[in-house]
Structure formats: C-alpha cells, structure tokens
Chains A and B, each alone.
Chain A
Amino acid sequence: MSKEEVLAKKPLQVLEKIRENLEKLNEKVEVMIELQKHERKDIQQPLSDAPLDVMTLLSMPDHLRKTAMTICRLGRATANEVAEQTKRARAVESAYLNQLVIMGHLKKERNGRKAYFFVDRENQE
C-alpha cells in the first residue's frame, strides 16, 4: 500500500471510530432515558419478571409490539435487522429494543461491535 493510500484510509478509520462511539453513546442515552422513565438507577435486574408471552404482546403499545413480534420471528437480531423488517429507522428500533430489554422482555448480548437482541425463553425462572 502506498503512503498516499495509507493517508487516505486514515480519515475513514477515524470517521468509522467516531460513528462507532456515537452509536454506543446513543444506546447509553436511550438506556438512561428509559431508566429515568422508570425512576431506576441501574439495569442489573430487569424491571419485573416479564415473560414475552402472547397476552403480554397483545397488551403492548402497537409500536413496541411490532418490534417484539419481529424479534419473535427472527429469533435473534440486531437493531439493523429489525429495522429492515419493520421499515422503520435503525435508531428508532434501537430505542424500542432497549426499552423492551429494560422492561425485562428481551435480553441483549454484545458480539464485538454488534448488539444482538433475543427472547430468553429457556432461562426465565
């Protein structure tokens, strides 16, 4: 790789890093907003023992049901993958998914840069 190519690549890497950090920051803000709504300081424990059964799905607000149903269908997915199905913006889905995590309906797991959301059907006591 020539010196010019290395120099040209660097700004891209920096921009990518900034985007990555902004995404993480965005997720943290979303979590803080949700915690504030529920007057809580941490998410070590879910808000309640909240299995995602069909009656819970039925009683959810429409916007959250759409997101939760998509996760039910996909099994395990990123906010991007959910957004592709629902045709809503990734940031919107990310907010709804984090809200569902805080409500105790979904679990979230990081794998490198990607955050995966899923229904933890087996480990709910």
Chain B
Amino acid sequence: MGKILAVHSYKGGTGKTLLSVNLAVTFAKHGKSVCLLDLDFRAPSLSTLLKIDKAECWLNDYLNAVCEINKVLMDLSDRIGNSGKLFVGLANPSTEAIRDMSAKDRKWEMRALGRLLALKTSLLNDKGFDYLILDTSPGLQYSSINAIVSADLVLVATTFDRSDVDGTRRMLRELYDLFEKKTEIVLNKVLDGSLRSGKDDVKTKLREVYQVPLLGIVPCFCDVLKAEGGVIFAQDKPDHPFTRIVGEMAKRIEDMS
C-alpha cells in the first residue's frame, strides 16, 4: 500500500513547497503514481508554482464536503513525460477562501481530519497512488496537525536559523512524538561555510540536536533562489545538483519499508 508524507516545518520559508513539488516530480519520474496536495490554506502557493489559476474544485471544497476528491485532482502527468503519474489538488488562493479557512471551528477541523484520513482509502487503496504528499502550513496550525495525524511519515524542513532549530526541537518532542510519527529531518539552505568542516560533522551535529534520522542536507543554491519559485528543478533542470539531492532523498524514502 502507498504512503502519506506530510511536509512540515516550524517556521515559514524553510522550503516545504519546494521540497514537496520536487519530491513529487521525482517520484513520478521514478515511475511512481503521486498525488500532491496543498494544505497550506493560509498561504496557498502550489497554484503559482504550477502556473494553474483555475480549478473545478479546490481542496477547500473537499474538506467542506462540497465535492469528492476526484473533482479536486488535476492530472499533470503530461508535464513529466510518460514515466509515472502526477496529480495535484490545490488550495484556493483567493483572499475570501483564506479568510474562510482561518475562521473554522474545532468541529469543522474534526470533520476535516475525517476527510483527510479517508484519503488513505480513496487515493492509496482505491486509486492505487504510491505517494500522497501533503504540503502544509508552518507551525501548529490545525490543517498542518491534521496532515501530520494522517501521515505515515513526516518530513520536517529546517534551517540553521536558531529560532527554527529551537522550534523544531520543541515540535519533535511535543508534537510528532506525541502522535508517535515516524519523522525525518531535511536540512535546507545550508551555507558553504557550514559544510566546510565536512558533511559528516554536520550530520553528527544534527543527530545530536534532533535525535531523529536525517533524510538529506540541501546546500543553499543561488540558482534556486534566483529562480524565485518559477522553476521546478526536478522537472526543468534534471542535471542540477539540487535535483540530484532530491533524487537521493526520494530514493531513501522509496527504500523505507
């Protein structure tokens, strides 16, 4: 059976969406069937990154029980050639939708959790997806914790920023551990200077700080910053070192039992 991956972080701007999209494309290029869902209802960004401005139904509608998930999913498989399958479900980026999602109460969030948990049956079992990737909002937002509870594996994007390190450590102990979630760290935007003493030193340091497995270290690539979220490296730049690193991370996830 397929797996649900939630991509989360303590702070914003750690590279969750970049990681989610590039992992999704990489899995699809490896011949897998992938579904990528934007659960960042406070700041939807997948629609911009994928250059899609209209949808028959948004993920908001699915969680509001207005439509079923097949109305939300868009088939982007043709963008990655004829290897695997890539479907996406987008969050509604309109201000009204963002305001509406921010004002939901506990009962709505409880029902939304039920709708997310049901995707395991409808997408992984019935439609045979290998991976369902949930891109989330940073921090302790309802939608993000719903995604974490639904996930089989949580990828935590983090940087060397001190407040991010402290917050990530707290979340590991007080969020992921409490839900008994399998968690892997992705250290992003690592500056050359930090890697000068060697990758192994960084890995050892990270294990000491977080005490959870490390999925990968992504150096700070000027090309990625310069692209300003307009390029999906795994799709458009197959030979770029960033694409290679994401490829290694995807392989590690595929090899997990």
Chain A interface residues (CB < 8 Å from chain B): 51-58, 62, 65-66, 69, 72-73, 75, 119, 121-122, 124
What are 10 A-B interface contacts by the 8 Å CB criterion?
A: A51-B106, A53-B106, A53-B110, A54-B113, A55-B106, A55-B145, A58-B178, A66-B180, A72-B113, A121-B113
What 10 A-B pairs have minimum CB-CB distances, sorted nearest first? Answer: A54-B145, A53-B110, A51-B110, A121-B114, A53-B106, A51-B107, A53-B109, A121-B111, A51-B106, A124-B107
Q: How far is the CB of A75 from chain B (nearest CB, A)?
A: 8
Q: Which residues of B contact A75 (CB under 8 A)?
A: 117
When each residue 125-167 of chain B gets 1 if its CB lies under 8 Å from chain A and 0 otherwise, what string results?
Answer: 0000000000000000010011011000000000000000000
The answer for the CA separation of A62 and B175 in the assembled complex, in Å, is 12
Q: How far is the CB of B204 from chain A (nearest CB, A)?
A: 31
Q: B107 contacts A54, CB within 8 Å?
A: no
- Chain B: which residue is nearest A66 at the CB level? B180
The answer for the CA separation of A62 and B117 in the assembled complex, in Å, is 21
Inter-chain contact total with CB atoms closer than 8 Å: 49
When each residue 166-201 of chain B gets 1 if its CB lies under 8 Å from chain A and 0 otherwise, what string results?
Answer: 000000000100111000000000000000000000
Q: B145 contacts A58, CB within 8 Å?
A: yes
- Chain B: which residue is nearest A54 at the CB level? B145
Q: Which residues of A contact B146 (CB under 8 A)?
A: 54
Task: Label chain B's interface by main secondary structure.
Answer: helix
Q: Which residues of B contact A52 (CB under 8 A)?
A: 110
- Chain A: which residue is nearest B106 at the CB level? A53
Q: How far is the CB of B174 from chain A (nearest CB, A)?
A: 8
Q: Point out the residue from A58, A62, A65, A119 that lies within 8 Å of B110, measured CB to CB.
A: A119
Q: B107 contacts A72, CB within 8 Å?
A: no
Q: Point out the residue from A58, A73, A124 that lies within 8 Å of B175, measured CB to CB.
A: A58
Q: B110 contacts A69, CB within 8 Å?
A: no
Known contacts A53-B113, A55-B145, A121-B110; 19 additional CB pairs below 8 A are A51-B107, A51-B110, A53-B109, A53-B110, A54-B109, A54-B142, A54-B145, A55-B109, A55-B142, A57-B149, A57-B179, A58-B178, A62-B178, A65-B178, A72-B117, A72-B149, A73-B117, A75-B117, A119-B110
Q: Point out the residue from A56, A57, A65, A119 that lies within 8 Å of B114, measured CB to CB.
A: A119
Q: How far is the CB of B93 from chain A (nearest CB, A)?
A: 24
Q: Which residues of A contact B175 (CB under 8 A)?
A: 58
The answer for the CA separation of A122 and B114 in the assembled complex, in Å, is 9
Q: A69 contacts B149, CB within 8 Å?
A: yes
Q: How far is the CB of A123 from chain B (nearest CB, A)?
A: 11
The answer for the CA separation of A53 and B109 in the assembled complex, in Å, is 6
Q: Which residues of B contact A51 (CB under 8 A)?
A: 106-107, 109-110
Q: How far is the CB of B179 from chain A (nearest CB, A)?
A: 7
Q: How far is the CB of A107 from chain B (nearest CB, A)?
A: 13
Q: Which residues of A contact B178 (CB under 8 A)?
A: 58, 62, 65
Q: Which residues of B contact A57 (CB under 8 A)?
A: 149, 179
Q: How far is the CB of A124 from chain B (nearest CB, A)?
A: 5
When each residue 77-116 of chain B gets 1 if its CB lies under 8 Å from chain A and 0 otherwise, what string results?
Answer: 0000000000000000000000000000011011101100
The answer for the CA separation of A119 and B179 in the assembled complex, in Å, is 17
Q: A53 contacts B107, CB within 8 Å?
A: yes
- Chain A: which residue is nearest B115 at the CB level? A121
Q: How far is the CB of A69 from chain B (nearest CB, A)?
A: 7
The answer for the CA separation of A13 and B114 in the assembled complex, in Å, is 41
- With known contacts A55-B106, A58-B178, A65-B178, A122–B149 Cβ distance under 8 A: no
Q: Which residues of B contact A65 (CB under 8 A)?
A: 178-179
- Chain B: which residue is nearest A122 at the CB level? B111
